[in-house]
Amino acid sequence: MNFGMIVKELSAGLVVSVEIFIVTLVVSLVLGLVVAFGRMSKFLPLRWLVRTYISIMRGTPLMLQLMVVYYGPYYLFGMQISTEYRLPAVLIGFAVNYAAYFAEIYRGGIESISRGQYEAAKLLGYNKIQTFFRIIFPQAIKRILPSITNEVITLVKDTSLAFVIAIPEMFTTAKQIAASQVSMVPFVAAGIFYYIFNLIVAVMMELIEKKLEYYK
């Protein structure tokens, strides 16, 4: 099999990897903000509950979490697991894992904004929601964007972990081709795909960062 054929074979796996990446990124960024609010809540039981969730997500391997999400319903509740549940399980596992990391990044950015910003907004007649989304949040995003970029780049590479529950993403496809062809070329092609994928992500995040130069 020549290099062109290998790239064509990898394309199907690339589509799955991109799907995992996009869904995880969108859901975890939104969920992470919600979790960050819980982490900063003045209601102590909620704050401790969220801290425990974040600690577990960051303290255990993502691979293990994917296995728990996929096999958990069967071992805990005796539910039958179908192959159609594999992709949803991967998306759920990735989203709840990355939401924990994004939550701590959000929290750090939000808490770095001085109290004077809140007081000034109050004097201008803004309510709490307006203050947060019009004044605090844009400044926080500017400060945390480099950290978010690092997590997003890590997410691109972590999509390969979907192989643990037999999702045919790009790395799994590369292994299958390499095994059948007894060749390292599929891994080289996959590595090039991952590099280009990450390069595109890095360039896009840099453009977003430049757009937020106003909030320096």
Average pLDDT of 101-129? 88
Alpha carbons 11 and 7: distance in angstroms, whole number: 6
Flag whether pLDDT at 8 surpasses 80. Answer: no
Instruction: Kindly report, residue by residue over 130-178, the tens digit of the pLDDT.
Output: 888 888 888 888 889 999 999 999 999 899 898 888 787 888 888 888 8
Q: What angle do CA 54, 60, 62 make, to 5 degrees?
A: 95
Average pLDDT of 25-48? 95
DSSP-assigned letter for residue 126: -
Position 214 confidence tier, pLDDT thresholds 50, 70, 90: low
Alpha carbons 155 and 20: distance in angstroms, whole number: 9
Alpha carbons 167 and 88: distance in angstroms, whole number: 10
Q: At what angle do helices 170-181 and 3-39 cross, to 10 degrees?
A: 150
Average pLDDT of 67-85? 87
Flag whether pLDDT at 101 surpasses 80. Answer: yes
Dihedral sign from CA coordinates of 178, 179, 184, 188: positive
